[in-house]
Amino acid sequence: MKIESLEQIGDRMRRLLKFLVGIFMTSAASLVHAGKLPESDRFSGHEKLVVETHAASLRLRESSLRETIVRKEGWPRGTWGDNLWCLAALCLNEKTDEANARLLKRANDFIASKPEHVAETSPEDPGKLPWTFFSITDYLRILYLFHAKSPHFPGRLKPETEAAMKESLWLWVRAESRLAEAGPDDQFLLLGTENHDLNRRPPCYLITAFLRDDPAYCERKLEDGHSVAEHAAAHTRYFREWPRSRAKNGLWIEVGSNTYQKYSWPALFNLHELSPDPVIRHRFGLLLDLAFIEEAQISVSGRRGGGQSRAEGGRNSFDSYKNLLFAREGKPAGSTHSRVIETSRYQLPAAAILLDRRAFPAVSPFAIRNRVLGQLKTYGADGKAQLIASNSALVNYAWRTPQYLLGSTLQNPALDYAGISQQKRWCGMLFDDPSAPKVGSIGVVIEKDRSGRPQHSFWSVQHENVLILQRIANRKEGGSYSTGKISLCFDAPGLEITEHEGWIFASNGKAFAAVKFLDGGHQWDKTRTVASPADFTGLKDTGRILLHAGDLSTHRSFEQFRESLRVSSLVMTADKVDYRFAGGTQHIEIFRYDVAARDSFRLPHINGTPIDLHPAAVYQSPFLNSVTNSDRITVTVGPVQQVLDFGGDS
């Protein structure tokens, strides 16, 4: 994919505007927010909004690049920062001599060390490479964008710099790439964590694909005995199918991670824009579109809701990365550990922009049910690789209303999930109040009781506006690890909190929540923002918490919401919670998970039926829909109606 100049982009934007006006001059029949205006009013002028967002995005990207090269030393410091600084400078076509000098020195120093075998690297041990574990994505982008025959910006790399970079990458890839891990059955084999895998496999592909066209490298043998050309061919087949596999089974394992999203997404941009294979470029472009649409429909003012893993709630450093594209006014925009998005010319699809800027607050309550990956089939022989079940028993569930989003992960705690799926899971409620200074929340807080990250700490079930979770007792097989108390943090501007008969009632004036610790009551921390179980019994504790949400669309007032819970029926025993709500029309039964008897665990029942962890729909919401094993995903956002077809080549 050729990356265009700014002048070319301007011409293309004008053509796009004319094209969009012709296509999207339609209106739908549904009603909108409290004003009951026709949908055409809510989405009026959407073509202009899309063009303006794209233009603002490009300005933010250039601004971030300029801020990068102003610094004398890159950040992060050392090699990593140098990679980002050089990518920014070469993209702007400024300070190119200095960028070449930095790249050449680090590459030559590495080559001069005469490494006969470059051991497998990790974030903790990057070795002496001219890139770090997480900056290889940016390093490769430098080579692809600026080499002598690049279709993007040819010749910004000097010949000696290009040669040294190629040799350095060869020394790494000859040991790192293994044909045995790029077969048709390896689509769900992770080489380490999800973000680690995306910093290993795509570089192996892009390096061998690049060197395949170089007579000096194409016939060289890697350490597994196969040639560069053979590796490039195998990786090409693998990455043609990767977007289809994810689109058809679930996008992410490290869903909404506070820490690791920023390391995963840049690989998708590289494969979309840099791959020499047009099928890979096309399908990864579709995958980016799908991922950003999915991200937008479950986010409140840019903050992702729903069930999350390797997450803590609160601020997510990836939000500023996203805002380089969404260009939300007044929101931070820029990356911290990569400059891939800044140097990309990918633009968001109209559907993602409209979901972010026009579709919410929601007209009326609706559910989002997305299947996600995470169930573990087996570990690799080295104990690091993990094979994930394509048909994982996991559903990312969210209930979205005009005033809040309540979300969690539906799961079977008796099954085995990969560590990166069950690590630091988060669930809770986001307040959707555009007038608030920040997005408020009521969410899970997991206390650590030892070293290491909390694992398999709790499980949850949710039906519409009611969520129930249970702490999982500590145990080697099927139990929690590094888990103390499970608490809830009430973090929202202007939150009014009252208590009555063991219930905590909270309101920001528009959305309401009722929380009850079901096994012994609760106690507050000194700031009165974190509520914890009052009778925590230690590592064997299996305490349960209920969160019931509401808002002005379902209740006339906070007082009326509190009164409505008086007629709900809550029956608790040691092994079961039976909750009837919404005037008795909705019914949740949750059975206690006993780690010592995991084989006899019963899934929760919703209105008398066990929850379905393998629904026929992979994506189900008013905006995003598809069925299992289908290449076609339907997108409907106001006047935008399209099908993302992952079975096509272009």
Give residue limits of the domains in the chain. 366-613
Q: What is the per-residue pLDDT for 154?
A: 98
Amino acid at 621: S
What is the Cα–Cα distance from 46 to 41, expressed in whole angstroms? Answer: 10
Torsion 80-83-88-94 (CA) sign: positive
CA angle 487, 492, 498 (to 5 degrees): 70
If 0-12 CB within 10 Å is exposed, 13-18 middle and 19+ buried, where does residue 34 land?
exposed
* Backbone phi, psi, residue 487, to 5°: -120, 175
- Which tokens in the block code for residue 183? 């077969």
Structure letter (DSSP) for residue 600: G
Q: What is the per-residue pLDDT for 220?
A: 96
Mean pLDDT by 10 residues, the chain (650 residues): 52 45 31 46 94 98 97 86 97 98 97 80 81 97 98 98 98 94 94 95 98 96 97 98 97 95 97 98 98 98 96 90 96 96 98 97 96 92 85 98 98 96 97 95 95 94 98 93 97 96 97 97 96 95 98 96 94 97 96 96 98 97 94 97 92
pTM (global) more than 0.75 = yes
Which of 505, 479, 489 shows the shortest CA–CA distance to 601?
Answer: 479
Q: What is the per-residue pLDDT for 650?
A: 73
Kindly state the greatest CA–CA separation across the chain. 78
Q: Which residues contact 339 (CB under 8 A, 6 or more apart)?
A: 64, 65, 68, 84, 87, 88, 91, 138
Chain length of the chain: 650
What is the SS3 assignment for 387? strand
Contact 393/304 with Cβ under 8 angstroms? no
Distance between terminal CA atoms of the chain?
12
Strands (E), 484-543: 486-491, 496-500, 503-507, 511-517, 522-524, 530-533
Q: Give 210-218 contacts, CB < 8 A, sequence gap 24+.
A: 210/143, 210/144, 210/166, 210/169, 210/276, 211/166, 211/169, 211/170, 211/173, 213/276, 214/166, 217/166, 217/170
Which of 480, 371, 382, 470 shows the shortest CA–CA distance to 423?
Answer: 480
